[in-house]
Amino acid sequence: MGKVRAKIDDLEDKNDKRILNIQCHGDAAFCGQGAAYEALTLCNLRKFKIGGSVHIITNNQVGFTTQGNDGRSFPNSSDIVKSFGIPVVRINAADPKTTVDSLLKVC
């Protein structure tokens, strides 16, 4: 997100929409690290605003040593963004090719 903000600062037209931040997370990383949530709490401040971000969260269970229902207070790792009114598109990532095809259709 910092790189995107730097590129926006370099543009003459600060409302230029050619730059999009895309991040990929495992489910544990998205809700557990705190970096994503911290970025969300700063997103409307003038020097942090980047005009939006796409976060791709895979339900890979790699970071959890417990079951999801024992590791967080909500069913999905993306539920943490509900307080921000952010839309969430859930796609079954068991089949990588289908996941990529589905993401391309959504975008």
Q: Residue ranges of the domains in the chain?
A: 2-106
> Distance (Å, rounded) from C-alpha 36 to C-alpha 84?
12
Contacts of 97 (CB under 8 A, 6+ apart): none
Task: List per-residue pLDDT tens for the chain, 107 residues long.
Answer: 889 889 988 988 877 778 888 888 777 777 776 777 788 888 888 888 888 888 887 766 666 566 666 666 777 778 878 877 888 877 766 777 777 777 777 66
Q: What is the pTM of this model?
A: 0.69
User: What is the rounded CA–CA span in Å between residue 32 and residue 64?
Assistant: 9
